[in-house]
């Protein structure tokens, strides 16, 4: 009998999600397997993996699940209020962990760390949001602000306001980012023009623009890595 037709405790050890995580690491597990470990058990008549697969299908894949608030999650089959609150709390802990990594006082070692933080903060938004990470002279994080929000596909960004907030934080450099609720992370022509406008405005007050992240599904797109900065 195939493992998927048996209860997890009867699966071969090498097929069980927890054992696979311990031996291979979490990055080798599927979305359903990771969610199954979180759930611990499935609904009546199902193991946790089957319940997790059904949950992801009902929610519209992993992003559709994790972008929901706790109340919306609680309505999904297999979660309920208690599990929804635990999952929502786990997501918030992830955001705070990422921020803690930025605020330890050590200089930002790679823009990739900031990109992950922008993803955690901006990806859940259903409308486009533009945010700024302010850095001091040693490239240590000073503050993070969501400055502009708009419609599903556009947030009106004013470079002058970005400069004003950077001066208010006495920032020596900034990293900016915005999300694409559609999930597409490729920078548009408008994104490239905005990057140029921001860089020009910041150059006038001697504040460096280190990167501009575009957040969609998958990894964030870095304007610096793409050669636009």
Assigned token pair, 68: 């929901």
Model pLDDT for residues 133-190, shown as the tens digit of each residue: 999 998 888 889 999 987 655 668 899 999 999 999 999 999 999 999 887 878 889 9
Entry pTM: 0.67
**pLDDT score of 2:** 43
Query: Residue 140 to residues 36, 48, 174, 206: CA-CA distances in angstroms?
Result: 37, 42, 10, 17
**pLDDT score of 169:** 95
**pLDDT score of 1:** 42
Q: Averaged in consecutive runs of 10 residues, what is the pLDDT profile of the chain (229 residues)? A: 53 75 85 86 82 86 80 86 89 78 64 82 87 91 89 76 96 94 85 94 96 88 90
DSSP sequence for 182-227: TS--SPPHHHHHHHHHHHHHHHTTT-EEEEEEEE-SSSPEETTTTT
Cα(190)–Cα(208) distance, integer angstroms: 21
- DSSP structural state of residue 89: H
Exposure string of 122-147, with b = 16+ CB inside 10 Å and e = fewer, is: bbbbeebbbbbbbbeeebbbbebeeb
> Please, which residues have CB within 8 angstroms of residue 31's CB and are 6 or more apart in sequence?
52, 56, 61, 62
């Amino acid at each position: 009998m195939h493992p998927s037709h048996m209860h997890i405790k009867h699966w071969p050890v090498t097929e069980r999600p927890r054992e696979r995580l311990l031996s291979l690491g979490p990055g080798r597990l599927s979305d359903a397997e990771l969610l199954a470990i979180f759930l611990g058990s499935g609904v009546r008549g199902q193991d946790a993996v089957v319940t997790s697969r059904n949950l992801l299908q009902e929610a519209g894949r992993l992003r559709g699940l994790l972008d929901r608030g706790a109340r919306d999650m609680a309505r999904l089959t297999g979660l309920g209020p208690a599990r929804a609150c635990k999952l929502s709390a786990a997501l918030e802990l992830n955001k705070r962990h990422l921020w803690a990594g930025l605020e330890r006082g050590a200089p930002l070692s790679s823009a990739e760390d900031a990109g992950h933080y922008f993803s955690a903060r901006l990806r859940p938004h259903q409308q486009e949001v533009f945010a700024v990470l302010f850095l001091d002279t040693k490239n240590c994080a000073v503050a993070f602000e969501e400055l502009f929000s708009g419609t599903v596909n556009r947030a009106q960004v004013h470079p002058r306001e970005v400069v004003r907030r950077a001066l208010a934080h006495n920032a020596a450099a900034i990293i900016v980012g915005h999300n694409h609720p559609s999930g597409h992370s490729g920078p548009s022509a408008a994104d490239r023009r905005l990057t140029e406008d921001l860089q020009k405005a910041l150059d006038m007050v001697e504040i460096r623009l280190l990167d501009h992240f575009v957040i969609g599904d998958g990894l964030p797109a870095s304007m610096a890595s793409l050669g636009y900065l």
